[in-house]
Amino acid sequence: MRVLDTAALIHWPVTELNGNVCAVSQQAELERVSPQRWMLIQALDIDWRDVPDKWLDEAREIAAQSGDLPRLSDVDLDVLALALGLNISLVTDDYRLQNTMKSVGKQPKSVGTTGAKQVWQWEMRCTGCRTSKEVPEDVSRSKKGDVGDCDRCGSPMVLKRKR
């Protein structure tokens, strides 16, 4: 039994999907991305689960510690929380999810890529004064762009790999 992210649901053969765990929030994402695949997946034996708040809080905290939180979607966090809460492997091609899992000593499996080779730590860095700080749990989340404003000079903060 493994937690599958949406990439696995889309790309893996249906014979590999049965008996695995997915987040309920993935259903809407899958239906939006691939309606035909969603119709097929509804007939499979997948354990669709809601994520307990406690697990979600833990996932958010771990993703903030690794610095990956700003670039994870709500669905990503649900998938991460299931893998951590159930203590089972996560199958994903998302490097941010892989990095977060590896940061706590878990080994994620890839869907169709070679996977992350090492753990990266991220920080928030100001585009103006170049000051840096740890990524807080309440950081703005989006797939790209700035993640907040600098407390010191007001310039945008961006996510950068720690030196």
Quote the number of domains for the chain: 2
pLDDT category at 37 given cuts 50, 70, 90 is: very high
Q: Virtual CA dihedral for 22, 113, 15, 79, nearest 10 degrees?
A: 0
My answer on whether 12 and 68 are in the same domain is: yes
The answer on 81 and 149 residing in a single domain is no
* pLDDT computed for residue 112 by the predictor: 64
- Tell me if 2 sits within 8 A of 89, measured CB to CB: yes
Question: 93 with 7: CB under 8 angstroms?
Answer: yes
Residues 63 and 129 in one domain: no
pTM over 0.75: yes
What is the rounded distance in angstroms from the CA atom of residue 77 to the CA atom of residue 80? Answer: 5
What is the span of the domain harbouring residue 126? Answer: 122-161
pLDDT digits (tens, 9 = 90+) for 70-120: 889 999 999 999 999 999 999 998 888 999 999 999 988 887 666 556 667
Pairing relationship of beta strands 90-91 and 3-4 according to DSSP bridges: parallel
| 115 inside domain | no
Which residue in this structure is represented by tokens 């708040």?
53
Residue 112 lies in a domain: no
